[in-house]
């Protein structure tokens, strides 16, 4: 375990560069939205929401991906096993997801308490993910973060093993897979059923339950691929 | 005498390319080994297999009593410094020192900082901004300060100037004397480290062609120069490794033991016998000049 923690420090030792980016980028998105909302003023009807929160998730996926592509070759060179490296990376990403979800929840409370930052802006309390139980809300923020992190790690592992061609091949396979699903749904005329299925899911299931299954699949798949990665 | 590493029939193929073919040897505890060979001879591949970073296509490796692959206990005793080591973009030299302190059980941080000072490597600079030589100096520092029971240097001197190289050799010898460990030096500049090396492993085209004590080797290979007939007579019954023609004269590289009897024979025949340095020896063993 202590060696896993030592390997985890590989990710955190230069944290100002890697960990401050997600919040820095989200903060700039937030300020930009705030400025736009301020400029538009009263001409908006009702509470308008932004998609700015996504910036944090996208940045985290990139951070997770580069935490594999950048650190794995170094870790291997420092006599760290693949298993220890992967456990350490998963540990850091899980800790970050939870550590980021709590302030997101607090910011959401603040947003609701200040009437959308005085401008009726919904940046953190977006409809779909707005649940009323505090713990559940933290999970609704945290599990999608976990998902993007493990997706980023998985992509990083694919890069570590097969280079950029592997990443492109994975993208093609992903697009074909999603296209096939869409095709099957269209053929069987099941779009309404599929739509209802999503609409019937409570936010907790849609944003915490199902993504958690994907997280586990990505985590297992990423480890299986990294086991055979070579210097 | 304990074997730290035992390699048994290891081969490595990349598609059609054979990088290593049926290589077997063992490394003695607390000795400095020179792993020699030309570019592409398979030195780096062999060391990556020893440390579990690359998987062998065939054969067995035993590192501190187990397979190196994913072997935490064994690998924590290994420090492998390779010329091509990648460092994260976000890392400064100080970050490398801190992570090394976390990961190497015998790490000596004070020693590392002193050595970096002597080699003029600034600790607050990004590793990616270091010059080739400074990056090598950082690798050398990690390798020495980690005090790992098995320390491997793969071409550690690239870009180092003569002064820095001498500092490296001196510190290696001094630190090795104070903290004995098993060392593998994979190098081209063989004559610079010839005196350090106790055991020589020579790879040629993926084959291990020599595994011998350096002391034995030093007196065992000579260049015999003289008229062709005289050299023929002198070389008869000995292993001739190489022969070249220099005008009227012939120079043959000959392996065998050379005592007083051989010397008087050479004198009688008019053949000049010169001992070869390790580097000259390696060149004669692995140099293939198209005729």
* Residue-averaged pLDDT of chain A: 89
Mean pLDDT of A46-66: 86
From the list B70, B90, B92, which residue is nearest A81 (CB)?
Answer: B70
Please tell me the distance from the alpha carbon of residue B157 to that of residue B163, in angstroms, as a whole number: 11
CB A77 within 8 A of CB B79: no
Same domain for B221 and B199: no
Angle between helices A134-187 and A191-200 (to 10 degrees): 170
Q: Is the predicted pLDDT of residue A129 greater than 80, yes or no?
A: no
Q: Which of A48-62, A121-135, B100-114, B140-154 has the lowest mean pLDDT?
A: A121-135
Given CA atoms B241, B188, B6, B218 in this order, what sign does their dihedral have? positive
CB B138 within 8 A of CB B157: no
Same domain for B272 and B196: no
pLDDT for the residue B9: 94
pLDDT for the residue A136: 86
Determine, yes or no, domain membership for B168. Answer: yes
Sheet architecture: strand order including B3-14: B17-28, B3-14, B58-63
Per the model's pLDDT, the better-predicted residue between A46 and A115 turns out to be A115
CATH number of domain containing B116: 3.40.50.300
Residue B238 belongs to what domain range? 216-286
3-state secondary structure of B22: strand
Q: How far is A191 from chain B (nearest CA, A)?
A: 46
Same domain for B227 and B146: no
pLDDT for the residue A44: 63
- Among chain A, residues having any CB pair with chain B shorter than 8 Å are 3, 6-7, 9-10, 13-14, 17-18, 70-71, 73-74, 76-84, 227-228, 230-231
Task: Choose one of B185, B205, B225: the last residue of a domain.
Answer: B205
Q: Which two tokens stand for residue A66?
A: 């580069």
Chain B interface test: which of A5, A9, A12, A13 (most B C-beta within 10 Å)? A13
Instruction: From chain B, pick out residues whose CB is under 8 angstroms from the CB of A71.
Output: 88
Q: Is B79 within 8 Å of A79 when comparing Cβ atoms?
A: yes
Angle between helices A82-113 and A54-69 (to 10 degrees): 170
Say what the pTM is.
0.89
Determine, yes or no, domain membership for B127. Answer: yes
Same domain for B241 and B171: no
Q: Which of A11-25, A55-69, B222-236 has the lowest mean pLDDT?
A: A11-25
From the list A9, A14, A228, which residue is nearest B90 (CB)?
Answer: A14
Determine, yes or no, domain membership for B234. Answer: yes
User: How much of chain A, in percent, has pLDDT values that exceed 70?
Assistant: 95
Q: How confident is the model at residue A43 (pLDDT cuts 50, 70, 90)?
A: low
Q: Which of B240, B270, B275, B243 is nearest to B259 (CA)?
A: B275
Residue spans of chain B under pLDDT 50:
1, 290-291
Q: Which of B254, B279, B258 is nearest to B200 (CA)?
A: B279
Determine, yes or no, domain membership for B62. Answer: yes
Q: List, for residues A184-202, the tens digit of each pLDDT value.
A: 999 988 888 888 888 888 8
Instruction: From chain B, pick out residues whose CB is under 8 angstroms from the CB of A78.
Output: 99-100, 103-104
From the list A6, A17, A18, which residue is nearest B103 (CB)?
Answer: A6
Q: Is A79 within 8 Å of B95 when comparing Cβ atoms?
A: no
Per the model's pLDDT, the better-predicted residue between A115 and A41 turns out to be A115
Q: Is the predicted pLDDT of residue A123 greater than 50, yes or no?
A: yes
Please tell me the distance from the alpha carbon of residue A194 to that of residue A186, in angstroms, as a whole number: 10
Per the model's pLDDT, the better-predicted residue between A166 and A52 turns out to be A166
pLDDT for the residue B12: 94
Q: Is B99 within 8 Å of A231 when comparing Cβ atoms?
A: no
Q: Is B88 within 8 Å of A6 when comparing Cβ atoms?
A: no
Would you mind telling me the total number of residues written for chain A in this entry? 231
pLDDT for the residue B265: 86
Determine, yes or no, domain membership for B211. Answer: no
Determine, yes or no, domain membership for B18. Answer: yes
Please tell me the distance from the alpha carbon of residue A14 to that of residue A18, in angstroms, as a whole number: 7
Determine, yes or no, domain membership for B230. Answer: yes
pLDDT for the residue B2: 65
Same domain for B226 and B186: no
Query: Is the minimum CB–CB distance between B129 and chain A shorter than 8 Å?
Result: no
CATH number of domain containing B252: 3.30.70.2020
Residue B34's DSSP bridge partners are: B185, B200
Tally the domains of chain B. Answer: 2
Same domain for B268 and B194: no
Nearby residues of A154 by Cβ (< 8 Å), 6 or more positions away? A218, A221, A222, A225
Given CA atoms B211, B213, B216, B220 in this order, what sign does their dihedral have? positive
CB B225 within 8 A of CB B251: yes
Same domain for B66 and B140: yes
Same domain for B33 and B69: yes
Task: Choose one of B205, B232, B255: the last residue of a domain.
Answer: B205
Phi, psi torsion values for B195, nearest 5 degrees: -75, -20
Same domain for B270 and B193: no
Q: Is B72 within 8 Å of A13 when comparing Cβ atoms?
A: no
Nearby residues of B155 by Cβ (< 8 Å), 6 or more positions away? B82, B83, B186, B187, B188
Same domain for B173 and B240: no
Task: Choose one of B137, B172, B205: the last residue of a domain.
Answer: B205
Determine, yes or no, domain membership for B152. Answer: yes
CA angle B64, B62, B23 (to 5 degrees): 135
Please tell me the distance from the alpha carbon of residue B220 to that of residue B237, in angstroms, as a whole number: 15
Phi, psi torsion values for B161, nearest 5 degrees: -80, 175
Q: How confident is the model at residue A47 (pLDDT cuts 50, 70, 90)?
A: low
Q: Is the predicted pLDDT of residue A148 greater than 70, yes or no?
A: yes
Please tell me the distance from the alpha carbon of residue A211 to that of residue A202, in angstroms, as a whole number: 13
Instruction: From chain A, pick out residues whose CB is under 8 angstroms from the CB of B102.
Output: 6-7, 9
Please tell me the distance from the alpha carbon of residue B56 to that of residue A106, in angstroms, as a whole number: 53
Same domain for B188 and B239: no
Question: Looking at this predicted complex, what is its ipTM?
Answer: 0.86
HSE-CB at B269 with a 13 A cutoff on CA atoms is 22
Same domain for B139 and B278: no
CB B241 within 8 A of CB B282: no
Burial class (CB in 10 A: 0-12, 13-18, 19+), B126: middle
């Amino acid at each position: 375990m202590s060696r896993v923690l030592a390997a985890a420090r590989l990710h955190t030792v230069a944290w100002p560069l890697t960990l401050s980016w997600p919040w820095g980028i989200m903060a700039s998105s937030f300020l930009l939205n705030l400025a736009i909302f301020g400029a538009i003023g009263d001409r908006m009807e009702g509470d308008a929401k932004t998609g700015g929160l996504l910036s944090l998730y996208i940045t985290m996926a990139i951070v997770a991906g580069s935490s594999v592509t950048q650190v794995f070759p170094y870790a291997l060179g420092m006599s760290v096993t693949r298993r220890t490296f992967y456990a350490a990376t998963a540990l850091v990403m899980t800790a970050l997801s939870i550590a980021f979800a709590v302030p997101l929840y607090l910011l959401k409370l603040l947003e609701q308490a200040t009437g959308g930052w005085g401008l009726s802006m919904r940046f953190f309390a977006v409809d779909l993910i707005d649940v009323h139980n505090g713990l559940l809300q933290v999970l609704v923020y945290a599990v999608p973060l976990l998902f993007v992190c493990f997706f980023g790690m998985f992509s990083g592992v694919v890069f570590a093993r097969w280079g950029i061609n592997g990443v492109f091949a994975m993208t093609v396979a992903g697009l074909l897979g999603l296209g096939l699903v869409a095709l099957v749904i269209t053929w069987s005329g099941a779009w309404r059923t599929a739509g209802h299925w999503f609409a019937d899911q409570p936010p907790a299931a849609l944003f915490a339950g199902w993504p958690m299954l994907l997280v586990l699949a990505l985590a297992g798949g990423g480890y299986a691929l990294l086991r055979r990665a070579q210097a | 005498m304990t074997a730290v590493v035992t390699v048994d029939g290891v081969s490595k193929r990349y598609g059609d390319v054979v990088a290593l073919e049926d290589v077997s040897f063992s490394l003695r505890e607390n000795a400095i080994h020179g792993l020699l060979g030309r570019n592409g001879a398979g030195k780096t591949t062999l060391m990556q297999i020893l440390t579990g970073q690359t998987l062998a296509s065939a054969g067995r490796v035993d590192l501190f009593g187990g397979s190196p692959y994913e072997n935490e206990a064994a690998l924590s005793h290994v420090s492998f410094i390779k010329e091509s080591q990648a460092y994260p973009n976000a890392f400064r030299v100080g970050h490398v020192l801190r992570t090394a302190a976390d990961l190497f059980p015998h790490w000596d941080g004070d020693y590392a900082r002193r050595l970096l000072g002597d080699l003029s490597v600034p600790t607050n600079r990004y590793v990616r901004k270091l010059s080739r030589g400074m990056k090598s100096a950082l690798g050398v520092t990690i390798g020495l300060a980690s005090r790992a029971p098995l320390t491997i240097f793969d071409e550690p001197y690239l870009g180092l100037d003569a002064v820095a190289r001498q500092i490296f050799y001196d510190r290696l010898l001094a630190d090795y004397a104070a903290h004995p460990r098993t060392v593998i030096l994979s190098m081209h500049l063989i004559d610079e480290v010839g005196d350090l090396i106790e055991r020589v492993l020579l790879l040629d085209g993926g084959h291990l062609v020599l595994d011998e004590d350096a002391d034995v080797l030093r007196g065992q290979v000579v260049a015999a120069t003289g008229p062709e007939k005289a050299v023929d007579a002198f070389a008869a019954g000995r292993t001739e490794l190489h022969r070249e023609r220099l005008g009227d004269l012939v120079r043959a590289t000959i392996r065998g033991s050379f005592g007083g009897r051989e010397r008087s024979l050479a004198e009688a025949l008019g053949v000049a016998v010169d001992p070869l340095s390790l580097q000259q020896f390696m060149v004669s063993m692995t140099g293939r000049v198209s005729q």
